[in-house]
Amino acid sequence: EDQVTQSPEALRLQEGESSSLNCSYTVSGLRGLFWYRQDPGKGPEFLFTLYSAGEEKEKERLKATLTKKESFLHITAPKPEDSATYLCAVQGNDYKLSFGAGTTVTVRA
């Protein structure tokens, strides 16, 4: 069974204080690793898809990287509007998405 573990569970940052979120995974045949952002009571918002080790993608203050066992989401110089729960998910050979529990990021002004 595919498994996704995210750490830390929660992260409190000062505005401008860069940090990284970790997503460790085991999957039978990785077809894609996905990062989503979720605000309270709302649906997850798609951020990135990574397909193979060594791949990197960037969007504004966010950068996602992928290795064979884990992915990192780097937040550079975060702003209060970056506060959200960040979810990682993997898609394996069975095409199903398995989500981690998420990392809740709080950025203080």
Task: Point out which residues bind other proteins (CB under 8 A).
Answer: 31-32, 34, 36, 41-46, 49, 51, 87, 89, 91, 94-102
- Please report, for residues 28, 39, 67, 77, 106, the alpha-carbon distance to residue 12 in angstroms, rounded to integers and kept in the order given: 33, 16, 25, 13, 5
| Closer residue to other proteins, CB minimum distance, 44 or 78 | 44
Beta bridge partners of 59: 62
The three-point CA angle 71-72-76 to 5° equals: 160
Nearer to other proteins, 9 or 15 (CB): 9
CB of 84 to other proteins, least distance (A): 14
CB of 13 to other proteins, least distance (A): 23
Closer residue to other proteins, CB minimum distance, 3 or 18: 3
For strand 56-59 and strand 19-26, is the pairing parallel, antiparallel, or unpaired?
unpaired
To other proteins, the closest distance from the beta carbon of 12 in angstroms equals 20
User: Pseudo-torsion of CA 61, 66, 30, 8, nearest 10°?
Assistant: -70
Our CB check for other proteins shows the closer of 5 and 18 to be 5
Please choose, from the candidates 68, 75, 63, 105, the residue with its C-alpha nearest in 3D space to the C-alpha of residue 90: 68
CB of 72 to other proteins, least distance (A): 19
